[in-house]
């Protein structure tokens, strides 16, 4: 029981972090048709910037400054990069963001070095929030939940209750029509791209000390975020939210389940002996298969239902 | 006709090159050169087979290394089996079997991935790539985990009685297979399948109206490119006698993309150029600099923005001007581009090296040597000089490029008339 509760909470924290990353990516992807490979790189950049900024002014100002810097970087990428390759088609845009992954990764290594950073949880949040069946739930995770819930509410209000939000929503599904109505769609694109990068930066700030801030963090996070976006479906933030939470739960629950297919077969009187490829496949515990699951899910959903969970159109 | 001579010359150079650097004093070949040339051969196959997707069919695949890697693993296990006397397979046919293993896997994954096109296709291949990379670390029997699988290539089973003890014999084996695979891939572009791949790339709806199934075309192209990638992987396994998870992980797929794109996807020979260039950079610049991948990355982005046809495309664009004999009138404009480009380049290299030296280099405890002299990283002067040369070079180049663009437009208009 206690493992389930703790795992639910951890899954929620991880899922909300994923949502913060994936929501921006979904908006960018649905509106511009650009799958931004560099999104996780911006996440990494957010963590590194927060580390550097927080050394000078402390964690909480960094929570504001680093995402804004990431948003500005995103705007610059859109204006000077993506817009220029836009007329060469979608493949060119994909290639462009793919190249950015390389450059940002190397720039980060050049600026901050190859080793993990000592980016830690701020002392004011470094205490156990409550004790659950003898296990501590750190206050920082509660803070992460709070920040992501605030971000969720903020994005929702922005999209549903403001004029720019309405235009963004319209441009999600009918960009040509919005353009015909006299709105500056490229500027909306820039805003959304910058906004998405800002959210990714925010996720980096609070995720950097939750996980580790190191040059490989973009590579480990990137594919998972893509899975979430594809799974949730294009043009649907609700689908993206559900997919994030599901993915967070799967990832945390898979780690704690220490059973394999062989354990299922045992009650049926099947005992596996020997050391062959088949026994290896059957005896791998779910905890290790957990890393495979997201990709199996992505390939399956793209194959059978390319519009994802709640998408409005095909990927 | 002319390109036939070029191909023959290239093959002749590839055959002769090891002997040009032969160390007569010690009666041995230059090991560095041989391993670089061998690497080039594999990478040429990898880049060309990747271009069967990206350039010829317009499919942006991210799992190409999967088939390269599987070819490598299959070869390693085959070599071990032959070494143990279980199955008799001559060394020369090993890459063919590796290719077949790549083909089998590509048929399996291609059936899934090619149902979609464009972005969805890219996503599925990303999923496949991550799936295989994760699986490779998980299942030790076939993939050997992080340590990989090792083998011994001296199996004494050869069609020509060769032992493959020396790097030279392996190199010639690679060369032969590279030429064979390249020829086959070129032949494929002439077949109806190759033409239909181009058609589905340019307008898949019209291809559908004519009565072809674009999915089938994509599938066949995907499967065949997997076959050739597998051949490359087989050669990799024979050369290094070890295959680790690196051979099927995402960085190698990215490398295939970089080589094909920088070389030029619109011309058949483009990826060959790209593979040779990137391998040269990889083995040359990586010795001098920690940050050679920054240069490759920036070159790639610059290509995507400014020259989407790649190096071969740029060369090809000069064709009409050369035919009219006006190539001479471009010499001066090109020379005018050289000076600001050099300034830009030096400034950029200087800044990158200075920056990476502050962190990575310092951790390795080396001394920074730039442009023939030691440089103090913490002084202001090198930073100012590099930054200034970068900015000045960029502004000047921008101005010159506008002028060059005018001349180029005029010239092409004249030639067309």
Choice among A94-98, A182-186, B20-24 with the minimum mean pLDDT: B20-24
Whether residue B59 contacts residue A90, with contact meaning beta carbons closer than 8 Å, is answered with no
Beta bridge partners of A135: A132
By C-alpha distance, which of B308, B317, B318, B190 is closest to A96? B308
- Contact (CB<8Å) A303/B124: yes
- Contact (CB<8Å) B359/A109: yes
Q: How far apart are the first and last CA of chain A?
A: 39
* Whether the predicted pLDDT of A310 surpasses 50: yes
- Contact (CB<8Å) A291/B296: no
- Contact (CB<8Å) A280/B128: no
Structure tokens at B352: 């990158």
Whether residue A126 contacts residue B370, with contact meaning beta carbons closer than 8 Å, is answered with no
Residue B372, helix vs strand vs coil? coil
Tens of pLDDT along B105-153? 999 988 888 887 777 788 888 888 888 888 888 777 788 777 888 888 7
Contacts of B298 in chain A (CB under 8 A): 103
Whether residue B32 contacts residue B39, with contact meaning beta carbons closer than 8 Å, is answered with no
Contacts of A282 in chain B (CB under 8 A): none
Mean of the per-residue pLDDT values of chain A: 82
Contacts of A98 in chain B (CB under 8 A): 254, 257
Given this model, what pLDDT does residue A269 score? 65
Whether residue B91 contacts residue B155, with contact meaning beta carbons closer than 8 Å, is answered with yes
Closest CA–CA distance from residue B149 to any residue of chain A (Å): 15
Contacts of A314 in chain B (CB under 8 A): 120
Mean of the per-residue pLDDT values of chain B: 83
Angstrom distance (rounded) from CA A218 to CA A101: 9
Angstrom distance (rounded) from CA B156 to CA B174: 18
By C-alpha distance, which of A308, A313, A314, A304 is closest to A230? A308
pTM: 0.86
The answer to whether B73 faces chain A, any CB pair under 8 Å, is no
- Contact (CB<8Å) B294/A100: no
Tens of pLDDT along A27-54? 888 777 778 888 999 999 999 999 888 8
Whether residue B225 contacts residue B46, with contact meaning beta carbons closer than 8 Å, is answered with no
DSSP state of B23: B
Contacts of A88 in chain B (CB under 8 A): 304, 308
Given this model, what pLDDT does residue A313 score? 63
- Range 233-252 of B in CB contact (< 8 A) with A: 250
- Going from the C-alpha of B121 to that of each of A64, A235, B414, the distances in angstroms are 37, 18, 43
Which one of A48, A102, A311 would you mutate to disrupt binding with B, by most B Cβ within 10 Å of its Cβ?
A: A102
Whether residue A110 contacts residue B291, with contact meaning beta carbons closer than 8 Å, is answered with yes
The answer to whether B142 faces chain A, any CB pair under 8 Å, is yes
Structure tokens at A225: 């975020």
Choice among B71-75, B150-154, B287-291 with the minimum mean pLDDT: B287-291
* Whether the predicted pLDDT of B50 surpasses 50: yes
Q: Name the more confident of A130 and A160.
A: A160
- Contact (CB<8Å) B139/A306: no
Contacts of A232 in chain B (CB under 8 A): none
Q: Name the more confident of B232 and A253.
A: B232
In chain B, whose CA is at the least distance from the CA of A112?
A: B359
- Contact (CB<8Å) A280/B140: yes
Is the dihedral angle over the CA atoms B62, B66, B71, B73 positive or is it negative? positive
Q: Name the more confident of A257 and A158.
A: A158
In terms of phi and psi (left: phi > 0; alpha: psi -120 to 50; beta: otherwise), the region of A211 is: beta
Whether residue A37 contacts residue A94, with contact meaning beta carbons closer than 8 Å, is answered with yes
Closest CA–CA distance from residue B169 to any residue of chain A (Å): 35
- Contact (CB<8Å) A90/B119: yes
Angstrom distance (rounded) from CA A251 to CA A283: 19
Closest CA–CA distance from residue B134 to any residue of chain A (Å): 6
Given this model, what pLDDT does residue B9 score? 85
Is the dihedral angle over the CA atoms B167, B173, B175, B177 positive or is it negative? negative
Given this model, what pLDDT does residue B1 score? 47
Q: Give the residue range(s) of CATH 1.10.3470 domains in chain B.
A: 31-307
- Going from the C-alpha of B417 to that of each of A40, B1, B131, B182, B318, the distances in angstroms are 50, 26, 55, 37, 16
Dihedrals phi, psi of B157, to nearest 5 degrees: -140, 95
In chain A, the largest separation of any two C-alpha atoms, in whole Å, equals 71
* Whether the predicted pLDDT of B264 surpasses 80: yes
Residues in chain A: 315
- pLDDT band for position B232 (cuts 50, 70, 90): very high
Q: What is the mean pLDDT of residues B355-384?
A: 69
Structure tokens at B152: 């011994």
- Contact (CB<8Å) A277/B142: yes
Residues in chain B: 417
Nearest to B112 among A110, A112, A299 (CB): A299
Tens of pLDDT along A131-180? 777 777 788 888 888 888 888 888 888 888 888 888 888 877 777 888 88
Q: Name the more confident of A181 and A284.
A: A181
CB atoms within 10 A of CB B417: 6
Q: How far apart are the first and last CA of chain B?
A: 26
CB atoms within 10 A of CB A60: 12
Given this model, what pLDDT does residue A277 score? 65
Q: What is the mean pLDDT of residues B360-370?
A: 63
> Over pLDDT 70: what percentage of chain A?
89
- pLDDT band for position B233 (cuts 50, 70, 90): very high
In terms of phi and psi (left: phi > 0; alpha: psi -120 to 50; beta: otherwise), the region of A33 is: left
Given this model, what pLDDT does residue B295 score? 83
CATH number of B31-307: 1.10.3470
* Close Cβ partners of A36 (under 8 Å, ≥ 6 residues apart): A25, A28, A29, A97, A193, A196
CB atoms within 10 A of CB B31: 10
Nearest to A94 among B119, B127, B142 (CB): B119
Nearest to B123 among A90, A115, A230 (CB): A230
Whether residue A69 contacts residue A201, with contact meaning beta carbons closer than 8 Å, is answered with yes
ipTM greater than cut 0.85 = no
Whether residue B258 contacts residue B278, with contact meaning beta carbons closer than 8 Å, is answered with yes
Q: Name the more confident of B89 and B185.
A: B185
Domain boundaries, chain A: 2-215
């Amino acid at each position: 029981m206690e493992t389930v509760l703790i795992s639910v909470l951890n899954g929620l924290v991880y899922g909300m972090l994923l949502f913060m990353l994936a929501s921006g990516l979904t908006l960018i992807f649905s509106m511009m048709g650009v799958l931004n490979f560099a999104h996780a790189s911006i996440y990494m950049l957010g963590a590194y910037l927060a580390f550097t900024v927080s050394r000078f002014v402390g964690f909480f100002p960094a929570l504001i400054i680093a995402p804004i810097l990431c948003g500005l970087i995103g705007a610059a990428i859109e204006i000077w990069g993506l817009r220029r390759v836009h007329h060469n088609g979608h493949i060119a845009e994909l290639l462009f963001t793919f190249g950015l992954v390389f450059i940002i990764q190397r720039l980060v290594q050049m600026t901050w070095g190859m080793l993990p950073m000592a980016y830690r949880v701020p002392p004011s949040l470094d205490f156990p929030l409550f004790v659950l069946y003898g296990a501590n739930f750190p206050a920082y995770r509660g803070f992460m939940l709070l920040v992501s819930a605030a971000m969720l509410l903020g994005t929702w209000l922005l999209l549903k209750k403001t004029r720019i939000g309405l235009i963004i929503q319209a441009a999600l599904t009918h960009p040509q029509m919005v353009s015909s109505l006299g709105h500056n769609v490229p500027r909306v694109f820039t805003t959304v791209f910058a906004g998405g990068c800002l959210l990714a930066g925010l996720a980096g700030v609070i995720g950097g000390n939750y996980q580790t801030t190191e040059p490989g963090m973009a590579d480990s996070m990137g594919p998972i975020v893509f899975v979430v976006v594809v799974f949730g479906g294009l043009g649907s933030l609700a689908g993206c939210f559900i997919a994030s939470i599901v993915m967070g739960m799967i990832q945390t629950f898979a780690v704690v389940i220490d059973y394999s297919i062989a354990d299922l077969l045992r009650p049926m009187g099947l005992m596996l002996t020997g050391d062959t490829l088949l026994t290896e496949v059957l005896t791998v515990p779910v905890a290790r298969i957990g890393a495979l699951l997201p990709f199996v899910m992505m390939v399956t959903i793209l194959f059978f239902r390319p519009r994802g969970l709640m998408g409005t159109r095909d990927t | 006709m002319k390109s036939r001579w070029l191909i023959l010359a290239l093959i002749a150079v590839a055959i002769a090159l090891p002997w040009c650097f032969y160390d007569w004093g010690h009666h041995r070949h230059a090991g560095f050169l041989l391993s670089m040339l061998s690497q080039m051969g594999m990478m040429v196959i990898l880049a060309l087979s990747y271009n069967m997707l990206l350039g010829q069919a317009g499919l942006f695949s991210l799992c190409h290394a999967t088939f390269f890697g599987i070819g490598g693993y299959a070869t390693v296990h085959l070599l071990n089996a032959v070494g143990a006397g279980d199955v008799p397979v001559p060394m020369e046919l090993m890459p063919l079997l590796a290719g077949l293993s790549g083909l089998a896997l590509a048929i399996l994954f291609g059936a899934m991935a090619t149902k979609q096109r464009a972005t969805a296709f890219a996503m599925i291949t990303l999923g496949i790539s991550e799936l295989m990379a994760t699986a490779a670390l998980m299942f030790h029997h076939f993939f050997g985990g992080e340590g990989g699988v090792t083998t011994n290539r001296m199996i004494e089973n050869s069609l020509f009685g060769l032992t493959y003890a020396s790097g030279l014999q392996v190199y010639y084996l690679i060369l032969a297979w590279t030429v064979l695979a390249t020829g086959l891939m070129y032949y494929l572009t002439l077949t109806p399948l190759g033409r239909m791949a181009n058609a589905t790339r340019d307008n898949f709806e019209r291809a559908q109206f004519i009565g072809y199934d674009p999915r089938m075309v994509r599938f066949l192209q995907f499967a065949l490119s997997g076959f050739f990638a597998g051949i490359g992987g087989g050669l990799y396994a024979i050369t290094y006698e070890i295959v680790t998870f690196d051979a099927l992980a995402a960085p190698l797929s990215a490398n295939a993309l970089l080589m094909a794109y920088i070389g030029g996807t619109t011309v058949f020979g483009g990826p060959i150029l790209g593979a040779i260039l990137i391998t040269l950079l990889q083995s040359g610049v990586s010795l001098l600099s920690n940050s050679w991948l920054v240069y490759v990355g920036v070159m790639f982005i610059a290509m995507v923005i400014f020259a989407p046809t790649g190096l071969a495309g740029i060369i090809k664009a000069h064709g009409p001007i050369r035919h009219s004999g006006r190539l001479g009138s471009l010499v001066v404009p090109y020379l005018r581009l050289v000076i600001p480009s050099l300034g830009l380049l030096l400034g950029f290299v200087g800044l990158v090296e200075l920056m990476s030296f502050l962190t990575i280099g310092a951790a390795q405890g080396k001394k920074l040597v730039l442009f023939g002299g030691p440089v103090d990283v913490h002084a202001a002067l090198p930073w100012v000089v590099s930054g200034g040369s970068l900015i000045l070079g960029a502004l000047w180049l921008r101005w010159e490029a506008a002028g060059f663009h005018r001349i180029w437009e005029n010239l092409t208009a004249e030639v067309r008339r």
